[in-house]
Every structure is written in C-alpha cells, then in structure tokens.
Structure 1
Amino acid sequence: MSETDPIADAAEETMQLDSQLDGDDRLKPEFVRKVLDAVEDGDDESARALVEPLHPADIADLFELTPNDQRRDLARAITDLLDGDVFAEMNDYVREDLIDALEPHEVADIASELDTDDAVAIIEDMEEDDQRAVLRALDPDDRAAIEEALSYPEESAGRLMQRELIAVPEHWTVGNAIDYLRGHEELTTDFWEIFVVDPTHKPVGTCQLSWLLRTPRSIPIGDVMQREQTLIPVDMDQEEVALRFQKYALISAAVVDPNGRLVGMITVDDIVHIISEEAGEDTLRLAGAGDGDINEPLHLTIRTRITWLVVNLGTAMIAASVVGLFQGQIARFALLAVLMPIVSGMGGNAGTQTLAVVVRALATNQLTSSNTARMILREFRIAVANGLMLGLLIGGGTWLIFGNQDLAIVIALAMVINNMIAGLAGVLVPVTLERAGVDPAVSSAVFVTTSTDVMGFLSFLGLATLWGLGG
C-alpha cells in the first residue's frame, strides 16, 4: 500500500478550495446552490462532503448566504461540522436564529469548546430563561467564568476579554516558565505573551514568547520581562480598548479589575472585529440606517429607518415653513423657486463632508478639547474658501443663463453664507453632542441638515427680498 503524499493532498485541497471560492475569497454562487440542492434532495452525505474542506469562517459565510427558511435544514445536514469555531465566526442575527433551534445542552456543548469571549458572544443575546438553561448545562468552571463576564456592561472589556491566559510569578526563572508551559496540557494554546504577576495577582510586566525561547533557563523572569505595559480596566468601553490597541500597536493586553488584579486578556484578533464594527456603525448611524445588517429581521430594520425618516420629515417641515415666509416674493419672481434648492443642497453636502470628518476625528480621539478651537477655525476657513469658489461658479452661471446680474449676486452671496453655516454646524453640532454625552454619529446629521436647509432658504430668499428682486 502506497503512503499518503502530503504534498499531493495539499494540492488537492487547494484545488477543491479554488472550485469553491472566487478571486476575492467569497463562496461562488454555483457552489452555494450545489450545497443547498443536495440538502433539499436529502443527500446529507454529499452536502457534508462539499462543506467539509471549508474554513470555519467560510462555513459561517455559507449560512449567511443561505435563505432564512433553509438555514435550519442546512444545519441539520452538516451538524457534525457545526463546531464552536463556526458559530464564533457567524453573523449575530444568523447565529441567533440557529441557536434558537438548538437544545440548551447543545448550546452548552458549543460554548464549552470556545474561549470565554466567544462563548459570551453566543449566550449574551439569548432570552433570559434559555440563558439560564444553557448556563446550568455548563461545567461549573465554565459557568462561573461566563456568569462573571455577563455581569459586566455590554460592549465593555469585561465582555470582550478571555479568561484563558498564562500568568507566572515574578520570582520564577525562564526555565520554570518553560517547564510550566510544557507540563500542563490544560493551559490555553493561543497566546503571544505571558503575564508576570506579584503575590496579589496584580500584573507587573509581560514577557513575549520569543524572549523566553532566546533566553537561558537560569535567568529570572523579572530580568527578561517588560515592566511597562498597557492595562485595560474591566469596565472600559470596547471602542476605547480598540483605540489603545491601535495607538500602542498591541498584540494582547491584560485586563484588570477595580483592585488592579489580573482577570483576563484581550487579543488583537478581537480588536480587528471591533474596529470594523465601530467604523461601520458610525457610517450607518450618520445615515440613520440602524445596524445596516442585511440579515437583520425586517421589522427591526423598518422600525429603525422609519424613526429617523419621521424625524427628517419634521425638520423638512421646518425648512418648508421658512420658504412659506417668502411665498409672496417667490410669486413675484418665480426664478427664486428654481434656484433655491441649489443653495440648500450644496450647503447640505458641504455640511455632511465636515460632519463625516469631525465624527471620525472624535471616534479616533484625534479631536479633543485641546484642539477643538483649531478644528473650528480650520473648517471655517475651508468653508469660506469653498463658498467663494462655488459662489463665483453659480453666480457666473446664473448671469450667463438668465442674464440677471442682481440674481447672480444674490445667489453667490447666499452660497457663501450657507457654506459658512455648513462648516460651523458640521463641527459644532457633533462636538456639542459628544460633550453632552450623546453619540454624535446618531443625531448629528439631522441637526446639520436642518441648519443648512433653513439657512440656505433664509439667506437666499432673505437676500432676494432685501435686494428687491422681482419688485
């Protein structure tokens, strides 16, 4: 019997993956269709054979690409491939749907395979009764760790951290640490550094694995470790945690309780997800689109969007009431009605540009109380420059098209004024909301748009009235 050729096996596996994924590492539509056809025909063996070579993240993608009414049938067909790693990679809404179909002991089995942070992500969104049933089915140690994590605020370091870490006392030598790592199979296998603690279990330093491997066994850990470290309070918001990882180029960091004791660690793979989520959230909130997740239940999406659309309807009525104040002037000179949307629309676009820059600066801690005045001045200068250029363009165009010098001057001045308002509102609104404890990404767009609409109409129609156009 010929021995298995590992190179040939690897080549065959690569060819299989090439037939399943496109150039952007996304599952091909024909592959997804083939798997679902096998499930629909009751051919579970063929479905498992197709799915088995996939990475857990690709299996999670397969479920997200599967229509909602077919996901549970797919889960039944490939149930032996649905391990904790797949659930950890899965979209929240898709995962919740599948978890609802499982018995508590099955959820407990999945959670027990995962690090604490991933297990918490699965359990935290369950109904309270189901959550208790799952916790009762867990081993006492796992249950205690997850219950402790659930006691921390949502989106905090306590929810994000994992308890599985390596901590050694400062008086050990490098040899002691290496023997400890090799002699205890129950220790976690995914780590980049070990934490050094004092007798009260407070972290006093960190030691990278590369340092251990390159240092003689007799050297004390205290002589190898780095004493300067970034400690994460257990109640710190996950967005602030991500900023610390980004600022200090961290791979992992110790999490400490209010007494300074080591209770967990956060690793960079979790932070990558947080950065992606927070960036997407801010963008979608600026548009009032909620989570913006295509797997979100339809009723939740409708409720979120209609809320902000109703708010926008109210602000539009405010702008319309300003136009109503000048209806007599508009009736005498109809060209005002033709041109006034240009002034308000351009102001809205300018305000949105500034708002996006400021919200990002606030989210990344680039904009603080120490440089707010400089930021306001900077954006005001940009607004004046843009307003002057746009004013000259629209004024010149109006003069050429309509041959009315007064109208050209009025619309040019209105464009400058509204751009200045847009620049100021784009900075002042999010900064004011942030200092008032309100998320600027959620509410700023409504106030900025209202400001530019109202001032656009008011400046253009007001100047036209003062100038005596149509009189």
Structure 2
Amino acid sequence: MDAEDRLRPEFVDRVLDAVADGDDETARELVEPLHPADVADLIELAARDEREGLVRALAGIVDADVVAEMNEHVREALLDALEPQQVADLAGQLDTDDAVAIIEDLEEDEQRAVLRAMEPDDRAAIEEALTYPEESAGRLMQRDLIAVPEHWNVGQVIDYLRSGKDLAEDFWEVFVVDPGHHPVGTCKLSSILRAPRKMPVSDIMFEEQTLIPVDMDQEDVALRFQKYALVSAAVTDGTGRLVGMITVDDIVHIIQEEASEDALLLSGVGEGDINEPVTESYRARVRWLVANLLTALVTAFVIANFEGLIERFAILVALGPMVAGVGGNAGTQTLAVTVRAIATNQLTGSNRWRAVGREVRVALLNGLTIACLIGAGVAIVFGLIFHDPLALPLGAVIAAAMLTNIIVAGCAGVMVPLTLERAGADPAVASSVFVTMVTDSVGYFAVLGLAAAFLHIA
C-alpha cells in the first residue's frame, strides 16, 4: 500500500503477472494478507478481461466479504458468471443488508433462482427487504439485533447474551421492547456491564431514542445519524414494531454515495463510475449534452440580434465570452452551495428567502470586485496600448455587464434548485443546465445591449 492506502501499481502488476503465468500459488500468497476491501480494489483495478482469471486464481480468498466490498458494476459482472447456488451461498454468509445489495442488482429471473437456492430463513428476510423501496431504510437495515423485554433485569440480559444462540455477532446497544415488540428504550453495552445484576433494565435504559421508519429514504437516515451522532438506531414498521437496526458503518457508505451522487448529477454524468459500461455512460451523458445544445440556441439567438453591432465593433466578440464565462462560474459556485444546503437540510422553507438574500449580497460584492477589475483592465489596455477613444466607455460597459451577469448568476444559482425542489424534482439533476443558459444569454445580452445603448454604435 502507498501513503494514501492505495494498492501500489507494481504490486498489482506482480499479482496479475503471476496469474497470467499460471502461478496461482504466488498470486494467493501476495493477496492473502490484504483486507477484503483491498482485495475488492485489486479486482477492480484489473482490466475487464483479466478479472475472471484473477478471481479463479484467488479461489478461497474472494469470499462473501470481498464481494460485498466490490463496485456494483464489477460485482454484477462477477455474479453473472456464477451459478445461482454459488450466489446463494455468498449471500447466506452476509448480513441481510449486504445480501440485499448483492441480490437486488440481479435480473428478476436470476433473483428468483438465487432465492430458491437459499436457506428458508435467509430467503424470507431478503424477500421482505426487497418489498421496500430502493434506497430506503428497509433495504439498508439489518435484521439481526438484540431486543429484550422491559421487565428483565441486567443479570437476565447478561445471561441471555452469553447463552443465547443465533444472536447478532456485532452490536453496540440492546433494544428494550414492550410485549407488542415496540421499542421503548435502548441500553448501551457499557451501561449494562457497569450496572448491578438485579437492577431493572428500565432503570438504565434511555427512553429517548431516534427511531427510523422503514420507508425513510437513506439520505434522510444518514442525516439523522449525522445530526444526532448515532452509532446505531432502531427501524420500525408502519405499526411501530421493531423490525431491524441500522449501524453507522452502513451510513458511512451512504453519506459518501449521496455526496458523490449530487456532485455527479450537477455535471450530468449519471453515476460517473469508471467501471460503468460505455453504453450506459453514453446514455447518461448525451441527453444533457443535447439539453445544453438546445439551451445554447437561446444564446445564439441573442447574439444574432446584434449582428450589425458585432460587425462594427468586433472586440465585443472577445469580451463577451469573458463576461459569460465568469458569470457561469459565479452561478456554479452558488448552485453548489445551494444544492449542498438543500441536501443537508440546512436550507428549508423557514430560511429560504434569507438564503436568497445572502447569495444576492455575496453576488453583489463579487460582481463589484470583478467589474472594477475588468473595467479598469479594458480601459487601460485599449486606452494606453491601442489608443482607442472609446476605451473608457468600453471599460464602463464591460464592467456594468459583468456586474449585471454575476448578480443574475447568483440569483439563478439559488433560485433554480429551490424552484426544482418545490416542483418535486431533484435540484441536483438539471440545475446546471438552466443556470448555464441564464448566465450565457444574460452575459451576452448585457454586453451587446449596453454597448448598443451607450457606445452609440448600433
């Protein structure tokens, strides 16, 4: 591993060379010390046509934990090469949430074949999870948890944890339930270990707990974990019964996924995964390029209406893109801040207009700064170097156009995602297309319109 915990290229090459030479034993000796996540990285770093041979050579090392850590596109290709019974055996070794992540990506007929090959208890748990919406708490939760009656004492809980069979292997708290299996509190393991055996569980439990509805979106689940610094949380169904739990190790992945998803959606690149098939990447990207092409026609229309002005004052062709480009960057800055604020619940209906006012003030300050710089620069260059008599008016026009476009860009950067959110659309999906259209068209219109009005050339 290098200083950033990445597999060194020379190590990857040694493993792949050993596999190519048929020396599977050397490949296994090299890979065996690695963590499952690093083994998954190794498989992902191999070329597509090398992966099958690599996995075959590492038989016994590429287990369920490795498969669970794999990129979904790489994992899907690997599972396609396995028999349903083999996939069922892998899924049966995993926690329910990881098993669901593997099976939910399969085709419907493959899902049925794998589920038929699984143990009845595992199959029932996964089939139940698949009934919940994608990216919901029901898909994310684990079924294996520790729940005890509220009338027990600490000694009974400890004896149960020591002698009980088929209990969850990893847990950080014990959930306390009433006779209807509704959660009434939670006990930290540290509290249980430090309390006298005869003390009732109800005396040491925390009655206030964060309950996660089974149909809650995973992004909202992640926000609750982040806001309340949770290590684990109970998941309840529509009747309030305890049906599972979510742990922080699952949420770390979700936070990363959701943050990456918003950033990629702003760019219009779909999943943006380098392991994604070329055709899928093409379909995800081309539709936004077509949308950009259509919105660019608005800018072209604006420019076409000032054809005579451009012919008589060609320097505007060079200065117009500067105004449009800087305005586009200003809009992107505001857009990124706004989308993040919406995603993290920092921006809601109660502070919407205050946030708009803040971004307008920031845009005004930025606009004044950049306008002064570009206005002075244009006046100096065209006045002192080219001795143009219109240097000062031209500088003033470009400065005013820049100020106008940056203010408009700031307004668009905050209003477009807010409008999309109120319309029920994902504010990260199409915001950049509309903001770019506004900044380009307004930028050129401001430059050409102000030039026509104040330079008396039109």
1:217-228 matched pairs, under 5 angstroms: 217-228=197-208
State the 1:68 CA deviation. Answer: 0.7
Instruction: Note the alpha carbon deviations across 1:390-414, whole angstroms, 9 max, x for none.
Output: 1111111111111211111111111
Q: How does 1:65-84 map onto structure 2 within 5 Å?
A: 65-84=45-64
- 1:470 is aligned to 457
For the aligned residues, what is the CA RMSD? 0.9
Q: Secondary structure at the match of 1:423?
A: helix
Q: Distance in 2 between matches of 1:469 and 1:221?
A: 85
Partner of 2:387: none
Residue 97 (1) aligns with residue 77 (2): yes
Shift of 1:250: 0.2
SS in 1 for 2:7: coil
1:386 to 366, 390, 407: 366
> Separation in 2 of the partners of 1:75 and 1:29?
18
Post-superposition shift, 1:185?
Answer: 3.3
- Is the partner of 2:324 in helix, strand or coil? helix
Paired AA for residue 122 in structure 1: I
What amino acid is aligned across from residue 302 of structure 1 in structure 2? Answer: Y
Distance 2:3 2:325 in 1: 40
Q: Is residue 2:418 matched to residue 1:418?
A: no
1:440 and 2:420 matched = no
Partner deviation per Cα, 1:94-131 (whole Å, 9 max, x = no partner): 11111111110001111010000000000000011111
Per-residue displacement from partner, 1:178-212 (whole Å, max 9, x unpaired)? 11111023111110001000000000000011111
SS state at 1:205 partner: strand
Matched, 1:120 2:100: yes
Report what 1:3 is aligned to.
Answer: none
Matched, 1:242 2:229: no
Q: CA contact under 8 A between 2:394 and 2:455: conserved in structure 1?
A: no
Percent identity (aligned): 66
1:203 paired to 2:183:
yes
Residue 17 of structure 1 corresponds to none
Per-residue deviation, 1:460: 1.2
| Contiguous gaps of at least 5 residues in structure 1 | 1-20
Looking at structure 2, the residues matched to 469 and 88 of structure 1 have their Cα atoms a distance apart, in angstroms, of 69
- Give the match for residue 162 of structure 2: 182
Tell me what 2:356 maps to. Answer: 376
- Counterparts of 1:463 and 1:26, CA distance in 2: 54
Whether the 8 Å contact between 1:362 and 1:368 is mirrored in structure 2 is yes
Asked whether 1:109 is paired with 2:89, we answer yes
* CA displacement 1:160-195 (0-9 Å, x = unmatched): 001010000000011111111110231111100010
1:300, 1:123 → 2: CA distance?
A: 20
Partners of 2:220 and 2:56 lie apart in 1 by 40
Distance in 2 separating the partners of 1:212 and 1:68: 51
Matched, 1:260 2:247: no
Superposition deviation, residue 447 in structure 1: 0.5
Could you tell me how far apart the structure 1 residues matched to 2:323 and 2:456 are? 17
SS of the residue 2:235 aligns to: strand
SS at match of 1:141: helix
Indicate conservation of the 8 Å contact 1:165/1:188, yes or no: yes
Partners of 1:275 and 1:192 in 2: how far apart?
21
C-alpha contact (below 8 Å) 2:19/2:27 kept by paired residues: yes
Stretches (4+) displaced over 4 A: none
Amino acid at match of 2:310: I
- Aligned partner of 1:341: which letter? P
Of 159, 163, 183 in structure 1, the residue corresponding to residue 139 of structure 2 is 159
Contact 1:406 1:469 in 2 (8 A): no
TM-score calculated relative to the size of structure 2:
0.97
Distance apart, 1:469 and its partner CA = 3.9
Instruction: Tell me which amino acid in the other structure corresponds to 1:70.
Output: E
> Which amino acid letter does the alignment assign opposite residue 412 of structure 1?
A
TM-score for the superposition, normalised by structure 1: 0.95
Task: Determine which of 274, 282, 285 is the counterpart of 1:294.
Answer: 274
Q: 2:431 is aligned with what amino acid?
A: S
What displacement does 1:293 show?
A: 0.8
Instruction: State how far apart, in whole Å, the 1-side matches of 2:234 and 2:204 are.
Output: 18
CA distance in 2, matches of 1:140, 1:469: 83
Identify unmatched segments of 5+ residues in structure 2. 384-390
Q: Deviations over 1:137-180 (max 9, x none)?
A: 01111000000000000000000001010000000011111111
Is 1:134 the counterpart of 2:114? The answer is yes
* Residue in structure 2 matched with residue 327 of structure 1 by the alignment: 307
Letter in structure 1 aligned against 2:402: M
Code of the residue aligned with 2:297 in structure 1: it is M
**Structure 1 residue 305: Cα displacement:** 1.2
Matches within 5 A, 1:53-64: 53-64=33-44
* Matched residue, 2:439: 452
Secondary structure, in 3 states, of the residue corresponding to 1:235? coil
Deviation at 1:29, TM superposition (A): 1.2
1:308-340 per-position Cα deviation (integer Å, ceiling 9, x unaligned): 111111111211111001011111111111211
Shift of 1:418: 0.7
Could you say what secondary structure the match of 1:265 adopts?
Answer: strand
Counterpart residue identity of residue 331, structure 2: G
Matched, 1:405 2:392: yes
How far 1:470 sits from its partner (Å)? 3.1
Aligned equivalents of 2:20, 2:226: Cα separation in 1: 46
How far apart in 2 are the matches of 1:224 and 1:362?
Answer: 38
Q: Report the alpha carbon displacement of residue 468 of structure 1 after superposing the two structures with TM.
A: 3.5
Q: Deviations over 1:366-413 (max 9, x none)?
A: 000100111011110111111111111111111111121111111111
Secondary structure of 1:412's partner?
Answer: helix
What's the CA shift string for 1:27-62, capped at 9, x where partnerless?
A: 111111111111112222221111111111111111
C-alpha separation in 2, matches of 1:393 and 1:320: 27
How many residues align? The count is: 451
For residues 276-328 of structure 1, the C-alpha deviation after alignment (integer angstroms, 9 at most, x for no partner) is 01111111111111111111111111111111111111111211111001011
